[in-house]
Amino acid sequence: MTQRNYRIFSILIVTAVILACVPTLAPVSNPPAAFDPNAANTSIVLTANAAATQTALVAGPSLTPSFTPLPTNTALPSETPSPTFIFALFTPTVPTATSTAKPGSTQIGGGTSTTKYACTLISQSPADYSTVSPRSDFDGKWDIKNVGTEVWEASSSDYRWVGGDKFQKQDVYDFTKSINPGGSMSVVVDMVAPKNYGTYSSTWKIFVGKTGFCILTMTIVVQN
């Protein structure tokens, strides 16, 4: 067998094998059924029912979802309050002088009535804290006015030293005349300055009988 004949023989064998492997088409025995328009819906319903059944089996006895309502009045967290600083300011208390009469002030004494006996200081000499020399003689003088409702009778009235430093020559002076309401007089005390340097104060008071009123004070500074 020549080479050419061998090739032809091989091609025939391969062709026969290929034809043997091709499947035989079966004849169509029945025509296709008519289209049912409800078939699609039925298929969908069946599929949905099957899916629901399968889901129920997986989820358990009940798949009813529970709903927990949120609180309607939930308070929002309050803001952190800012610190408040309170500053307390100290106000010093100034003591009120009660013993020194000043010009124009009214000194009301004790007794049965505070309106019966009262005085107003008009002037004073020497003024408080005036400088005097040691052992020097001087007069302490207060000019006063009767602003009460009673007469200061000369027979029963005087002025006396009642406290403080003693640098006067005499402790009690009688009135030389009566002083009617609205009238004025000078209270004069003969004084001598102490021998030592320093500040000294003397206090006097008018008396009508046993009633004392009209406090008078004088402060001096002893130095050269």
Q: Residue 208 and residue 156: Cα distance in Å, rounded?
A: 6
Taken in order of first residue, the domains within the chain and their CATH numbers are 106-222 (2.60.40.10)
Predicted pLDDT at 13:
75
Q: Residue 219 and residue 223: Cα distance in Å, rounded?
A: 13
pLDDT in tens, 36-48: 555 444 444 444 4
Q: And the tokens for 58? A: 């997986």
What proportion of the chain, given as a percentage, has pLDDT over 90? 48
Predicted pLDDT at 11:
78
Look at 224 and 167; give whichever has higher pLDDT.
Answer: 167
Q: Residue 124 and residue 109: Cα distance in Å, rounded?
A: 19
- Mean per-residue pLDDT, 52-60: 46
Distances (CA, A) of 128 to 67, 100, 132, 164, 202: 95, 10, 11, 14, 11
